[in-house]
Amino acid sequence: MRRIFLPLTKDIIKTIKPGEQVLLNGALLTARDAAHKRLIDTLKSGKKIPVSLKGETIYYTGPTPARIGEVIGSCGPTTSARMDPFTLLLLKHGLLGMIGKGERSKEVRLAIKKHGAVYFITIGGAGAYLSEKVKSAEAIAYKDLGPEAIYRLIVEDFPAIIDIL
């Protein structure tokens, strides 16, 4: 399996093919329902969001708490379709990658192609396995949301499959 290094660039994305299995390495952000809603509400009100999305990859996950001495708890993907209503605006703000599980809406599929972005799927329900691929985790925004806070993760050989490109 080929290693892909994050942050993504349009040049990297040009080299990958739909259906290809890859291993992701580098930094990504986590965000799920509540964080997405807050990002969008902030952007729509014309205010600045607490993270830059330019070239970023968002992993749709809400991990379990880390045990003492561990980096993170179980952290598999959540259903991506719930983030569909928010995705177009995030793509406009420079988001290049998304990781989750399940199908996306037609509108989102087209927008991903239009923006030269990529949607990866990973194995749903494999949160314990995927936790071993996370080398560091730090809550960087919306900490009051608990498991739904935005985390910065550094991953090593995190398995993913290119779903939409």
Partner 1 sequence: MTRTVDSKLITDIVKDLFIKANTSLRPDILAGLKNARKNETKEKARYALDVIIKNAFIAKKKMLAICQDTGMAVIYLRVGQSVTIKGGLKKAVSKGVELAYKKGYFRHSVVNDPLIRKNTNTNLPPIIYTDIVHGNKIRIKVMVKGFGCENVSKIRMFRPTDPVSNIEGFIVDTVKDAGSRPCPPVYIGIGIGGTLDKAVSISKEAIFRPLGKNSKDKHIARLEKSILKKVNKLNIGPAGVGGNTTALGVSILTYPTHIAGLPVAVNISCHATRTVEVTI
Q: Which residues bind partner 1 (CB under 8 A)?
A: 21, 34, 61-67, 73-76, 78-79, 81, 101-103, 121, 123-132, 145-147, 159, 161
Asked if residues 59 and 81 have their Cβ atoms less than 8 Å apart, the reply is: no
Alpha helices in the chain (DSSP H): 10-14, 33-44, 84-92, 106-114, 127-131
Smallest distance from the beta carbon of 138 to partner 1, in angstroms?
A: 17
Of 73, 121, 132, 75, the closest CA to residue 98 belongs to 121
Q: Provide the residue type at 19 as one letter.
A: G
Cα separations in angstroms, 121 against 59, 68, 74, 97, 154: 10, 29, 17, 11, 18
Burial status of residue 15 (CB atoms within 10 A of its CB: 0-12, 13-18, 19 or more): exposed
Smallest distance from the beta carbon of 75 to partner 1, in angstroms?
A: 5
Smallest distance from the beta carbon of 126 to partner 1, in angstroms?
A: 4
**Rg of the chain taking only CA atoms, in angstroms:** 15
Residue nearer to partner 1 on the CB measure, 53 or 149: 149
Smallest distance from the beta carbon of 156 to partner 1, in angstroms?
A: 16
Residue nearer to partner 1 on the CB measure, 7 or 124: 124
Residue nearer to partner 1 on the CB measure, 78 or 87: 78
Residue nearer to partner 1 on the CB measure, 48 or 67: 67
Smallest distance from the beta carbon of 144 to partner 1, in angstroms?
A: 9
Token output for 52: 């830059």
Residue nearer to partner 1 on the CB measure, 102 or 116: 102
